[in-house]
Amino acid sequence: MRLEPRVGVVGLGGLGGSGRVAHDVAVSLAMLGHTTFLLSCEGCQFGRESAGWATLVPVRTPRSPRPAQRTWVDILAADLEQAVLDHGLTVLSVHYGVGLAEAAIAVRQRLRNRGVSLRVCVTLHGTDVTEFACDPVQAARLRAALAEADDVSVVSRWLGEQALGRHLLTREPRVITNGIDLDVFRPTPHERQSSPPLLVHASNFRPIKRPLDTLPLVRSLRDRGVDTRLELIGDGPLRAAAEGLAASLGVRDRVTFVPPLPQRDLAARLRRATMAITTSESESFGLFAVESMASGLVLAGWRCDGLLGTLRDDAALADATLVARGDFEALADRVQEVLKDDLLRKTLVARGVSLARSRFARSRQVDGYRRSLGIQPRERLAWPHDARI
């Protein structure tokens, strides 16, 4: 008899997209009836949202990406080993490669020596490939861990190409595109325009997200006589710098800083906004972009390869809203055009909603992880319509 896997989903504890996806996968698997545990640090950003679904097991993961060093990788491996033994886990779904994959592979080897079988599946999310792989030492350690993994997946085709191009992988990875809960991220059922128009940006305020780039946009729009407000949602190392820049540009009164929000609260704020601004230097996928489009917002911001890959099924939509990084005047032109042309805005909203709903449903994402983890239920389980995550 084939035993139902007991899954441990390992993720970083901070605001990054990999931690968000780890939480969503853990909760979604639990919603489908699979025994699932979320393994992340005490007080992890998304842990409180898993209550009632996946059980949170505290392990000493970092809160944000950091170089793999013995000082923390060995500690994490010891915690993961104890979690596997305490909860009878048979598979680890590891979200983020650097350090986390190495710790999980070490655990598998230790347990194998004791006659305990453990499957390790690793998902690469972005900076583990695009930043850490530029360091030969980190790249070598990550490459060795990925070579030992039972399954390797990436969140976008573009990221898979990057991983292969940097020689982190010797085989094509599985592509499991990120998904969102379409019961949570959805347009308001009736037309509701904020006045003045509200722009919104959400991120972990790390340099790669370039949150400060949103502020010259607001200044440029103000100088053109276009009255807008901006909400910056999230927290991170550039939060104080963003507040300082808003003041120095003379737009502090037009900018509201909002702390990190649970998904339902974020979705509610998106439905009240007019446009979403994405200013990342690089995106492996662009989770906030998809959440925004699904919520009925027009997306505007910088073009980057990963985000263009996410929008590839409607390249014209990307061309209508994204401009070259650093071209603030062009970005202000796009935003102003959308704000003054109601028909254009409605057209772009409809196309964004259609793209998000047709390509990025959570059910499609979770089916990919079930295949990766070796979960083969005797009968197909219906996806529950539940907006609690």
Domains along the chain with CATH numbers: 6-179+361-373 (3.40.50.2000), 198-359 (3.40.50.2000)
SS3 sequence of 260-276: CCCHHHHHHHHHHCCEE
What gap in Å lies between CA 235 and CA 330, rounded to an integer?
A: 27
The mean pLDDT values, 10 residues at a time, for the chain of 389 residues are 81 90 93 93 78 86 93 97 97 97 97 94 94 94 97 95 94 94 89 82 95 97 96 96 97 96 93 95 92 96 92 91 95 96 95 95 94 72 44
Q: Interior CA angle at 365 toward 23 and 158, to 5°?
A: 100
Give the C-alpha separation, 316 to 320, whole Å: 6
Rounded to two decimals, the pTM is 0.88
Hunting for tokens 């990025």 — which residue is that?
Answer: 360
Residue 368 has phi, psi (to 5 degrees) of: -65, -40
pLDDT score recorded for residue 50? 62
SS3 content of the chain, % helix, strand, coil (to 5): 50, 15, 35
- Say whether the peptide bond before residue 196 is cis (omega within 30 degrees of 0): yes
pLDDT at 192: 63
Q: Can you give the pLDDT at residue 15?
A: 84
Task: Give the model's pLDDT for residue 14.
Answer: 87
In whole angstroms, how far apart are CA 237 and each of 4, 212, 375?
42, 11, 39
Where b means 16+ CB within 10 Å and e means fewer, 357-367 reads: bebbbbbebbb
Sort 42 into a burial class: Cβ within 10 Å, 0-12 / 13-18 / 19+: exposed
